[in-house]
Amino acid sequence: MAVIDVNEKNFEQEVLKSDKVVLADFNADWCGPCQMLKPIVHEIADERADVKVVSINIDDEEDLAEKYEVFSIPCVVAFKNGEEVARSVGFKPKAELLKLIGD
């Protein structure tokens, strides 16, 4: 599945109400490590039908970043049934990201 761009408006529907586990990638265009993480996040989205992967641009979505207390990017937050279950900050290899969803 493709990575879905999420904003304030569709956050509840796509993330909080998702019946799949969600990996939310908070990122920005000016952030180098975010660009390096992007292909990995896309790979997970392509390979894992059981996971929904979303991307949130923190420059456009300041309120979401603030609400979820994102203070450094890249920041990948795993949500299950609308609740945060794990997060990782900084560039991480794929295996580390998969650990967030319990693999």
- Figure out which of the listed residues 2, 49, 50, 93 binds another protein, where binding follows CB under 8 A: 93
- How far from 56 is each of 95, 99, 103, CA to CA, in Å? 21, 20, 23
Say whether 75 is catalytic.
Answer: no
Please list every residue from 20 through 39 that binds another protein, using CB under 8 A.
30-33, 35-36
Residue that has been written with the tokens 């991480």 in this structure: 92
Residue that has been written with the tokens 């295996």 in this structure: 95
> How many positions of this chain bind another protein (CB under 8 A)?
19
> Which member of 23, 34, 76, 78 is catalytic?
34
Alpha-carbon dihedral of residues 43, 13, 83, 98, nearest 10 degrees? -10
- List interacting residues with another protein (CB under 8 A): 30-33, 35-36, 58, 65, 69-73, 75, 87, 89-91, 93
